């Protein structure tokens, strides 16, 4: 089977769902690798500040780097960078315009973590575009780490966020089309980029991270993925580095993926080696059906060295470092397809 057919036909049998977001994106032509992009291995010496994000999100990394270059904090950079994608209605997997659950509700998951190990998260948040900023408010204004559902929504409104309908015409149309058959195995959409996960190191050498998503398209009502779960979708340790995940959240949660990547770096692995080992933990499980889903990790260590790795081809990250804002194709595990 050709790679593109594989992507289009693959479903997530474990969850009975497919990623409504992309396995392959990064380029405007689905499934084609842009020859101008770099590979993950770079010979250049790492420097800080650095911004790293999942997928092809140059506007977001530009915004984050602008903040860092002006002496701003890693935390501000990561929040402001992610907000660019949340507000982008064309991205059907993040914030406004995200694809809804099977009942037509857009529900968002997000988290944020700073250099002091503080963190905040929101899960199953409705009606608020900037979930990452609500997560930051949870971190800074409450004694809690995570708020869910209606409580999160009420908290956001009290904090001054304006409720709005996140279901855009385009996403509604996609949902209506899906409803014709309502198979809980929608075709994977390979044209959009994905969940945004972002990691930043500021001029002081402090590290922060954030992750924000509308999760799996047409998921069961109430489903929460890895993205808002500290340690799974995101982990930051200011002494070591940080990691963030994208792809089928259920598989990331089962291996506590981002925490694992950071712990592997603590043990001396490079970010690249750590991402590869974390993917191996998923594919090496007995009865792993990894042919049917994608997971990708990106990571950065304290020195500003970076890495990324995924199960299948066409995952990419955007890296802004050494004055270059570039899309980098990830190496991947499954070379058989
Ligand atoms: C989730 N990890 O909700 C997120 C979604 C995602 O590619 O990254 N999709 O499972």
29 domain residue, yes or no: yes
Q: Is the pLDDT confidence value at 201 over 80? A: yes
318 lines ligand 1 (CB under 6 A): no
4 domain residue, yes or no: no
pLDDT tens sequence across 38-65: 555 555 678 999 999 999 999 999 999 9
- Label residue 37 by pLDDT band (50, 70, 90): low
215 domain residue, yes or no: yes
* Exposed / middle / buried, residue 2 (Cβ in 10 Å: 0-12, 13-18, 19+): exposed
216 lines ligand 1 (CB under 6 A): yes
pLDDT tens sequence across 214-229: 888 888 999 999 999 9
17 domain residue, yes or no: no
Q: What atom of ligand 1 comes closest to residue 93's alpha carbon?
A: 9
Q: Is the pLDDT confidence value at 172 over 90? A: no
CA distance 96 to 115: 28
Measure Cα distances from 105 to 15, 97, 154 in Å.
19, 11, 17
131 domain residue, yes or no: yes
212 lines ligand 1 (CB under 6 A): no
Q: Is the pLDDT confidence value at 145 over 50? A: yes
CA distance 197 to 258: 11
In the numeric block, the tokens 């592997």 are attached to: 264
- 175-179, 200-204, 319-323: least confident range: 175-179
Total domains in the fold of the chain: 1
Residue 130 token pair: 């900037």
Kindly give the distance from the C-alpha atom of residue 195 to the centroid of ligand 1, in angstroms, as a whole number. Answer: 6
Q: What atom of ligand 1 comes closest to residue 224's alpha carbon?
A: 3
Q: Is the pLDDT confidence value at 263 over 90? A: yes
pTM of the full structure? 0.86
- Label residue 336 by pLDDT band (50, 70, 90): confident
- Supply the pLDDT for residue 5: 30
Find the CATH number of the domain harbouring 229.
Answer: 3.60.20.30
The protein residue whose alpha carbon is closest to atom 7 in ligand 1 is 247
106 domain residue, yes or no: yes
13 domain residue, yes or no: no
5 domain residue, yes or no: no
CA atoms within 13 A on the CB side of 35: 0
Looking at per-residue pLDDT, the higher value among 311 and 177 belongs to 311
**Is 195 among the catalytic positions?**
yes
- Supply the pLDDT for residue 1: 30
pLDDT tens sequence across 186-198: 333 333 446 799 9
226 lines ligand 1 (CB under 6 A): yes
Q: Is the pLDDT confidence value at 35 over 70? A: no
Q: Is the pLDDT confidence value at 15 over 70? A: no
Mean pLDDT of the chain: 85
| Domain range for 276 | 23-35+46-332
Q: What atom of ligand 1 comes closest to residue 215's alpha carbon?
A: 3
Kindly give the distance from the C-alpha atom of residue 186 to the centroid of ligand 1, in angstroms, as a whole number. Answer: 15
pLDDT tens sequence across 75-114: 999 999 999 998 886 766 777 777 888 888 999 999 999 9
Q: Is the pLDDT confidence value at 251 over 60? A: yes
């Amino acid at each position: 089977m050709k790679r593109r057919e594989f992507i289009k036909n693959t479903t997530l049998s474990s969850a009975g769902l497919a990623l409504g977001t992309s396995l392959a994106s990064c380029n405007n032509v689905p499934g084609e690798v842009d020859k101008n992009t770099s590979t993950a291995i770079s010979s250049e010496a790492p420097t800080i500040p650095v911004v790293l994000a999942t997928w092809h999100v140059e506007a977001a990394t530009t915004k984050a780097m602008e903040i860092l270059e002006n002496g701003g904090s890693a935390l501000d950079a990561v929040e402001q960078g992610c907000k660019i994608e949340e507000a982008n209605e064309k991205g059907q997997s993040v914030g406004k315009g995200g694809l809804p659950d099977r009942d037509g509700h857009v529900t968002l998951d997000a988290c944020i973590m700073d250099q002091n190990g503080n963190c905040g998260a929101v899960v199953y948040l409705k009606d608020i575009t900037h979930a990452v900023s609500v997560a930051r408010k949870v971190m800074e204004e409450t004694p809690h780490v995570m708020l869910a559902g209606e409580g999160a929504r009420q908290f956001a409104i009290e904090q001054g966020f304006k409720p709005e309908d996140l279901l855009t015409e385009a996403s509604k149309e996609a949902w209506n089309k899906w409803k014709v058959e309502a198979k809980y195995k929608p075709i994977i959409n390979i044209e959009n980029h994905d969940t945004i996960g972002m990691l930043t190191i500021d001029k002081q050498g402090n590290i922060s991270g954030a992750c924000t998503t509308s999760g799996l398209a047409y998921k069961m009502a109430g489903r929460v993925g890895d993205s808002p779960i500290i340690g799974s979708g995101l982990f930051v340790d200011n002494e070591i580095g940080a990691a963030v995940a994208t792809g089928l959240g259920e598989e990331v949660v089962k291996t506590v993926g981002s925490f694992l990547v950071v712990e592997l770096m603590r043990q001396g692995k490079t970010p690249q080696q750590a991402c590869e080992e974390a993917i191996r933990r998923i594919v090496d499980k007995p009865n792993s059906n990894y042919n049917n889903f994608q997971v990708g990790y990106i990571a950065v260590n304290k020195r500003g060295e970076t890495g990324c790795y995924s199960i299948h081809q066409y995952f990419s990250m955007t890296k802004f470092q050494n004055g270059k804002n570039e899309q980098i194709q990830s190496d991947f595990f499954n070379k058989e397809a």
